[in-house]
Amino acid sequence: MTPSRRQPARSRITVLRHKAVLATVPVAVAALIGAAGPTATGATGTEGAAGAAGAGDPYFPLSGNGGYHVRHYDLTLGYDTSSRHLDGRAALTARATQNLSRFDLDLTGLKVTGVTVDRAPAAFRRKGQELVVTPRHTLRAGRDFSVTVTYSGTPKPVTDPDGSADGWIPTDDGAFVAGEPQGAMTWFPANAHPKDKSSYDITITVPQGRTAVAGGVLLGQHTAHGHTAFHWRETQPMAAYLATATVGKFQIEQYTTRDGIRVYNAVDPREAPAAAPVLKELPSVLEWESRLFGPYPFRSAGSIVDHAPDIGYALETQTRPLYDSAPDISTLVHENAHQWFGDSVTLTAWKDIWLNEGFATYAEWLYAEQHGGDSAQKTFAALYARPASDPLWAYPPGDPGSGGNIFGPPVYARGAMTLHELRKAVGDRDFFRVLRAWATGNRGGHGTTAQFERLAERISGKRLDGLFRTWLFTKGKPNSA
């Protein structure tokens, strides 16, 4: 079973002090201009339509936005760990996928003080989690455009439908920044649905003595006037929910693996004794996973081990998983397996979450099986023995039904059980071929449940629709083969 530490914590939201931010005159003026309706035309007279307010995900209808793709985010942040105030400037390079008279970004809380599009001031207004931007001119389909947003305030996490918190979560020495499924919008304006993947530059300035850690490679670190700026770059496509800018007092360890992967571990000293023996295994875990799933999909790796045990979960932040306390080996295996399943091969809808969690959980079972622990069959059998009334069978993993169910036991454990059933049906040889082909064939991109089924059928030459229907989509405890 999934260790309880990864289960969402319930109804625990840190109460934050609100810091009054004075609205500047340009904000008020821009807000007035921003009152243009959905059929607004640009000053050129070219017709365009408004980009959709969401990416069309039924579980999180306002997550993501229509009409454009973000190619690159360049985020410049300053965080004051004592006042919990964040100053931000986001510079986005995007490409219009339709003629756009206006478009949305996802951003919640915080105060926006200016927006430009192609370097010209643009009108904007706030509407719930949508930052609605109306550029001076219609943006032409297929063309690149740039957006800058300047903003500041005290970030507040979002409360997810299951009661857990995600986003920018303050800690006693900084912030634990985890964006799955919704929290990216609590700290930067984004096209925040996993359908949209982008490269990132993140520069974070924090008080000297604190460290700010994001994904990818640390390009530079500069201290002046009592502050340190950390510049991180992730060149490989990343979904917004996998970005982090976690801040704290950390011990740093850096090295390069035999495979040339650059490792950066940041560990809260309070967690260091418990974390050390587990983090030591990271290179061998990555090598083991690479043998099973194909080459590690990124150039950098590592861990952020925070001391924030109330959070109740870890997150597979791209290249560098984030833990709320020292992970055990199983959790390390799980979050790093997500680098293949979730981070490199990404969902197109939250309904498909078992493609992330079922796979990462099955990686834990395989690790145990190949390292002197229980066989996957034994783990499967213990779960299968649970009575029909057990929460494990509460809903089918391929159709969790709502955003409140995406991190529940059916997704993790029954999702992994589905893979074990597949393994029994096609045999080890084809099963491991399927896992590897899934990860390598969709590397850096996306995958759906239907595509996974087709791949498994193609590789095995077997009809598997019954198996997947039973294990992924049928309510109640399934019959096992």
Task: Catalog residues that contact Zn ion under the rule CB under 5 A.
Answer: 357, 360
Mark residue 52 as left, alpha or beta (left: phi above 0; alpha: psi -120 to 50; beta: remaining). Answer: beta
CA nearest 219: which of 258, 184, 264, 257? 264
> Of these partners, ligand ARG, Zn ion, none, which one is at the site of residue 196 (CB under 5 to 8 Å by kind)?
none
**By CB under 6 A, which span of 37-45, 95-103, 195-203, 311-319 interacts with ligand ARG?**
311-319
352 binds ligand ARG (CB under 6 A): no
> Of these partners, Zn ion, ligand ARG, none, which one is at the site of residue 77 (CB under 5 to 8 Å by kind)?
none
Residue among 149, 315, 383, 472 that touches ligand ARG (CB under 6 A): 315
Per the listing, tokens 């996998």 go with 242
**Helices 428-441 and 415-426 meet at what angle, rounded to 10?**
120
> Of these partners, Zn ion, ligand ARG, none, which one is at the site of residue 53 (CB under 5 to 8 Å by kind)?
none
180 binds ligand ARG (CB under 6 A): yes
Report residue 50 CA to chain centroid gap: 27
314 binds ligand ARG (CB under 6 A): yes
Half-sphere exposure of 146 (CA within 13 A, CB side): 10
Integer-rounded Cα radius of gyration of the chain = 22
**Helices 354-370 and 282-293 meet at what angle, rounded to 10?**
110
313 binds ligand ARG (CB under 6 A): yes
SS3 content of the chain, % helix, strand, coil (to 5): 30, 30, 40
Sites for ligand ARG among residues 193-252 (CB under 6 A) = none
Report residue 139 CA to chain centroid gap: 28
What's the start-to-end Cα distance of the chain, in Å? 21
Strand 227-239 and strand 246-248: the pairing is unpaired
Per the listing, tokens 């494990």 go with 392
Three-state SS at 223: strand
Residue 152, strand partner residues: 87, 111
> Of these partners, Zn ion, ligand ARG, none, which one is at the site of residue 455 (CB under 5 to 8 Å by kind)?
none
Comparison of 147 and 366: residue with beta carbon closer to Zn ion? 366
Closest approach of Cβ 94 to ligand ARG, in Å? 27
Closest approach of Cβ 338 to Zn ion, in Å? 6
164 binds ligand ARG (CB under 6 A): yes
**By CB under 6 A, which span of 24-32, 114-122, 310-318, 442-450 interacts with ligand ARG?**
310-318
Comparison of 160 and 453: residue with beta carbon closer to ligand ARG? 160
Task: Give the C-alpha separation, 340 to 335, whole Å.
Answer: 10
Comparison of 196 and 364: residue with beta carbon closer to Zn ion? 364
Comparison of 181 and 248: residue with beta carbon closer to ligand ARG? 181
**DSSP E strand boundaries for 188-341:** 197-207, 211-213, 217-224, 227-239, 246-248, 251-256, 262-267, 300-305, 322-323
Sites for ligand ARG among residues 326-345 (CB under 6 A) = 335
Per the listing, tokens 């957006």 go with 147
Comparison of 313 and 350: residue with beta carbon closer to ligand ARG? 313
Decide: 263 and 298 in contact? Cβ < 8 Å.
no
Residue among 6, 125, 193, 320 that touches ligand ARG (CB under 6 A): 6
Closest approach of Cβ 315 to Zn ion, in Å? 8
> Of these partners, Zn ion, ligand ARG, none, which one is at the site of residue 234 (CB under 5 to 8 Å by kind)?
none
Closest approach of Cβ 470 to Zn ion, in Å? 23
Closest approach of Cβ 340 to ligand ARG, in Å? 14
The footprint of ligand ARG (CB under 6 A) covers: 6, 8, 160, 164, 166, 180, 313-316, 335, 357, 407
